[in-house]
Amino acid sequence: MSSEAITQRRLRARAMPEVPDAAAALIVRFLDLVWAELGLSPQTLASYRRDLEGFARWLGLGTALTGVDRKRLFDYLAWRNEQGYSPRSNARLMSSLRAFYAQLLRQGQMTQDPTALMESPRQGRRLPRTLTESQVEALLAAPDVSTVLGMRDRAMLEAMYGAGLRVSELVGLELGEINLRQGVLRVTGKGGKSRVVPIGEEAQHWLEHYLAQARPVLAGKQVRAPLFLSQRGAPMSRQLFWHGIKRLARVAGIEPDKVTPHGLRHAFATHLLNHGADLRALQLLLGHSSLSTTQIYTEVAKERLQRLHQHHHPRG
């Protein structure tokens, strides 16, 4: 949604009437009850309040919250769609309304649940952000490999992109889990599941240089099991790696907001598919327990092909 549309929606929301007193009292009582019974977080309670107060404002004085039927809810959802609310936002609203009306039923303030048999709006799968091949090349070339830390960063980036690792898998690698002679890593993924993944020649090259020239300097005289070490010789953390990625993105001329913690993993998967990789082989490389998780990358590749078609085809 454009910024102009968001601004217009906020202006319309401000123009709506205040929450009627009777509705406000019901909402406050509901929030007190679910907080006491379920110990919900302040963020969840605030979401419930926003959703319920928004619905009460839309109803106005003409209809009480306890007098709502299913048709009225459908009308409200239709109105929200016209205002540009996302399926994710509407799904959260339905969750709030279900909890609210379930509480009113338990208290005997209503005899029927207006949310019964209503399905939550279908949410499109959120596609992972990924980088183009040229952006990946620029990011990989960004570290200053004449320095110890630059060589470490280059080795980490190459390993992540070359093997499609999660950030936690990357920083959790230990010396005994790398076999450069065979060009493979033994990775411990989610749920403690291990897998052996190959690495490319470039990743192998930079890991060899890192182990020979940079890691001994970072480790000093201490014997350390982690493969990647910080400037102080401690194990690398996700946060430290993430801050480094943001800095290197600027060096590479990439907007930092476009680079996510798993950006190179997503790029690894998407680029393999673009070059004809088999989906089940990709599933094994990524360590996904379900093929449906891997299939989201086919959507990323398809979306890119559609953009290319629209841009280059004379009838696109």
Which residue numbers are catalytic? 166, 190, 262, 265, 288, 297
CA-closest candidate to residue 156, choices 235, 256, 225: 235
Which pair of structure tokens corresponds to residue 122?
């279908």
Q: What angle do CA 247, 274, 130 make, to 5 degrees?
A: 25
Cα dihedral 285→291→262→189 (10° resolution): -60
Which residues neighbour 30 within 8 Å (Cβ) at sequence distance 6 or greater?
A: 48, 52, 99, 100, 103, 104
Residue 166 contacts residue 151 (beta carbons within 8 Å): no
* CA dist list (Å): 65 to 45, 110, 296: 18, 10, 40
Largest separation between any pair of C-alpha atoms in the chain: 77
- Under DSSP, is residue 29 helix (H, G, I), strand (E, B) or coil? helix
Which pair of structure tokens corresponds to residue 88?
């994710």
Which pair of structure tokens corresponds to residue 59?
């109803």
* CA dist list (Å): 176 to 8, 184, 205, 208: 58, 11, 18, 14
Give Cα 201 distance to the centre of its chain.
Answer: 30
- H and E: helices and strands count for the chain: 15, 3
Which pair of structure tokens corresponds to residue 139?
């990011």
> Nearest 5°: phi and psi at 5?
-65, -40
Which pair of structure tokens corresponds to residue 195?
């897998």
